[in-house]
Structure 1
Amino acid sequence: MIEDGTYIAVVDRFEDDTAVLLLEQDGDTVDELLLPKTQLPEGGTHVDAVVTVTIADGTVNDITYEPDETAARSTRAQRRFDDLSERPPSREDESD
Structure 2
Amino acid sequence: MTEPDTAVLDRIVDGETAVLLLEADGTVVDERTLAVERLPEEGRHEGAVFDVDLEGETLRELTYRSSETQDRRQAMQERFERLSERFDDE
TM-score normalised by L of structure 2: 0.87
Flag structure 1 segments of 5+ consecutive residues without an equivalent: 91-96
Amino acid at match of 1:13: R
Determine whether 1:14 maps to 2:48: no
SS of residue matched to 2:83? helix
Number of positions where the alignment pairs a residue of Structure 1 with one of Structure 2: 87
Number of the residue aligned with 2:28: 29
Amino acid at match of 1:62: E
SS of residue matched to 1:47? coil
Flag structure 2 segments of 5+ consecutive residues without an equivalent: none
Determine whether 1:66 maps to 2:62: no
The percent identity for this pair of structures is: 44
Structure 1 moving runs of 4+ over 4 Å: none
Paired with 2:10 and 2:48, the residues of 1 have a C-alpha distance of 8
Amino acid at match of 1:12: D
- Report the CA distance between 1:6 and its aligned residue: 4.9
Coordinate RMSD, CA, aligned: 1.8
- Residues 25-65 of structure 1 show CA distances to partners (whole Å, capped at 9, x for unaligned) of 11110000111000001211001111111111321221100
Amino acid at match of 1:85: S
Paired with 1:81 and 1:58, the residues of 2 have a C-alpha distance of 35
SS of residue matched to 2:74? helix
TM-score normalised by L of structure 1: 0.82
Equivalent residues of 1:6, 1:52 under 8 A apart: no
